[in-house]
């Protein structure tokens, strides 16, 4: 029976990593606390999840197979904090995930003796065997070594052990091997899971940097953000909630319960004021089921009617294999080494050149009197990832793609980068199939409607480009943009964006899309700078 308040906890550690309760004890405690759903998310191991599943999940409790993977913060982002990626609804026995976690566990095992030796060199008579005994046969980590130090009387609390000896930059600290952030996300996706960025406060990023970082993770397949967490104060929760909504990320939360090693954190309630509602689990589960259902459509060629795509393109291939190749992402070939065709990267390379030539042809013909600089800017506004992705969506390319499991589960069929690359591969395929004339005809049909009647109008209305060129050349500053708010019904939203060159030259604009609002804001700043007529 679900509790009246519908409380869940999607971040719990067991004795399989650095918690003090066994998976069975966690299940029993969750049942006693009337939690509706939990996830066991041990560090770099799925043993706790497997153990819980094997022992049987109590009736009325939803159980999410999970893991928490330590990952490196990628350049160019600051590396002072720590990054953990949670994986929900994973297949804990997926072979590639198992192999990667084994590497992490072996690295952890190599690290522990080094920590012990450093502590011993500082005069503390503590052994690895004592830490292993405390772990109860689970994975040994710094929390167990910290507990051994408390037990031997060298420190009063595990917090002291970390603050004085075990934390980064302290006397007994030893660096830890981590997966790259992109690899961690890929592994979770490949195992059928949903990757979620854990406790974002621990990254120690400014809000702007965090937003950019989460955007990068989302490009790799990130599905959610852990908004509700004991160390997140109300301002942080509001900020992370807003970021998740802007980036279309699922919102999750959990206590990060470890048991006796973190006595101030309780399962389900954190420090007493944590409440993660059941509806977040419902959304997470629904998204997982939808993604799994969609993913199956992108793995096996039979059933893909490429004739529909040919009809949308207005071109029939003499060699149909070229269109199949254009639809084949490298992730599919990597997972199907026995397939008889290659991925689309060579066709994409060719198609990029054909597209730029064709658009240049059209612009030179239409605007014979205009300067090359104006034409270059106009071509850039027509041939870019966002624009090409929208054209690909209009053709229905996403539904025809061949993707590996990870990319499919990461919704690769709707990623701008994959759609744009696949469209260029189609152009390369048409060129290979019958030459430039037919490729030009298809490209013209798709691009010509987007070309404005006057190049001066196009150049003048690209306010963001003009503002960037002026600000960088005259002020040595790059403009920044921020979405301030949005309002109105879903089918008719209005967006408000702010453009800033510095504190003196800042203004807001409105539009029916984020891009339009940013353009309007850029125009307002150009007016402030005296570079645009206010009329």
Catalytic positions, written as ranges = 352, 424
Q: How far apart are CA 332 and CA 206, in angstroms?
A: 37
Report the 10 Å Cβ neighbour count for 344: 29
Q: According to the annotation, is 348 in a ligand binding site?
A: yes
506-511 and 480-487 strand pairing: unpaired
Residue 424, annotated ligand binder? yes
- Distance between CA atoms of residues 406 and 182, nearest Å: 11
The C-alpha angle 93, 98, 101, rounded to 5 degrees, equals 140
Contacts of 105 (CB under 8 A, 6+ apart): 44, 45, 139
Residue labelled with tokens 């409380």: 7
- Find tokens 């160390």 and name the residue: 231
Q: What is the pairing mode between strands 494-500 and 480-487?
A: antiparallel
Pairwise CA distance, residues 443 & 427, whole Å: 8
The one-character DSSP state at 475 is I
Residue whose structure tokens are 């900020």: 239
Per DSSP bridges, beta strands 83-88 and 179-180 are: unpaired
What whole-number distance in Å separates Cα of residue 406 and Cα of residue 189? 5
HEC readout, 149-180 = HHHCCCCCCHHHHHHHHHCCCCCCCCCCCCEE
Helix (H) or strand (E) holding 308: helix 306-313
CA distance linking residue 263 with residue 406, whole number of Å: 38
Nearest Cα neighbor of 39 from 284, 223, 250, 311 is 284
Task: Name the packing angle between helices 463-470 and 372-382 (round to 10°).
Answer: 120
Two structure tokens written together for 527: 């007016």
* C-alpha to C-alpha distance for 529 and 249, rounded to whole angstroms: 37
Strand partners, 494: 487
Structure tokens at 278: 């059941």
Q: How far apart are CA 457 and CA 72, in angstroms?
A: 46
Tell me the three state secondary structure of residue 237: helix
Crossing angle of the two packed helices 207-220 and 181-190, in degrees rounded to 10: 40
Token pair, residue 215, equals 């955007």
Binding residues for Mg(2+): 348, 421, 424
Binding residues: 348, 421, 424
């Amino acid at each position: 029976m679900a509790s009246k308040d519908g409380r869940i906890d999607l971040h719990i550690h067991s004795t399989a990593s650095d918690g003090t309760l066994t998976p069975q004890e966690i299940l029993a405690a969750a049942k006693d606390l009337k939690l509706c759903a939990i996830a066991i998310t041990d560090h770099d191991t799925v043993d706790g999840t497997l153990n819980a599943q094997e022992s049987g999940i109590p009736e009325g409790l939803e159980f999410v197979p999970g893991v928490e993977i330590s990952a490196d913060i990628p350049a160019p982002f600051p590396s002072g904090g720590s990054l953990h990626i949670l994986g929900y609804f994973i297949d804990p026995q997926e072979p590639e995930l198992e192999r990667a976690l084994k590497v992490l566990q072996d690295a952890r095992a190599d690290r522990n003796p080094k920590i012990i030796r450093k502590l011993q060199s500082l005069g503390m008579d503590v052994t690895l065997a004592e830490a292993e005994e405390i772990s109860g046969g689970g994975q040994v980590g710094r929390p167990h070594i910290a507990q051994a130090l408390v037990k031997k009387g060298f420190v009063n609390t595990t917090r002291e052990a970390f603050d004085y000896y075990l934390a980064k930059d302290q006397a007994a600290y030893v660096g830890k091997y981590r997966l790259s952030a992109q690899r961690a996300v890929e592994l979770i996706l490949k195992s059928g899971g949903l990757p979620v960025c854990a406790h974002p406060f621990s990254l120690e990023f400014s809000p702007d940097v965090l937003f950019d970082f989460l955007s990068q993770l989302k490009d790799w397949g990130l599905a959610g953000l852990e908004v509700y967490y004991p160390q997140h104060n109300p301002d942080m929760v509001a900020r992370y909630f807003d970021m998740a909504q802007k980036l279309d990320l699922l919102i999750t939360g959990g206590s990060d319960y470890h048991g006796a090693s973190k006595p101030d954190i309780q399962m389900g309630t954190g420090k007493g004021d944590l409440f993660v509602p059941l509806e977040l689990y419902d959304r997470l589960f629904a998204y997982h089921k939808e993604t799994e259902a969609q993913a199956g459509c992108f793995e096996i060629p039979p059933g893909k009617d490429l004739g529909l795509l040919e009809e949308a393109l207005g071109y029939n291939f003499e060699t149909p294999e070229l269109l199949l190749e254009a639809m084949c992402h490298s992730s599919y070939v990597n997972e199907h080494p026995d397939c008889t065709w290659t991925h689309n990267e060579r066709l994409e390379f060719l198609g990029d050149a054909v597209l730029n030539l064709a658009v240049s042809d059209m612009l030179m013909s239409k605007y014979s009197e205009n300067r090359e600089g104006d034409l270059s800017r106009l071509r850039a506004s027509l041939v870019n990832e966002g624009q090409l992705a929208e054209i690909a969506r209009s053709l229905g390319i996403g539904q025809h793609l061949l993707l590996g499991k990870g990319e499919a589960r990461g919704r690769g069929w709707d990623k701008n980068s994959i759609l744009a690359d696949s469209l260029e591969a189609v152009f390369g395929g048409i060129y290979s199939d019958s030459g430039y004339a037919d490729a030009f005809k298809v490209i013209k049909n798709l691009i010509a409607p987007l070309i404005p009647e006057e190049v001066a109008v196009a150049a003048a209305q690209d306010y963001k480009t003009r503002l960037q060129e002026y600000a960088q050349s005259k002020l040595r500053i790059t403009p920044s943009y921020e979405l301030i708010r949005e309002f109105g019904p879903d089918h008719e939203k209005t967006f408000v964006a702010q453009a800033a060159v510095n504190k003196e030259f800042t203004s807001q604009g409105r539009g029916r899309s984020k891009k339009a609002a940013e353009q309007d804001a850029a125009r307002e700043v150009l007016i402030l700078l005296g570079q645009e007529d206010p009329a």
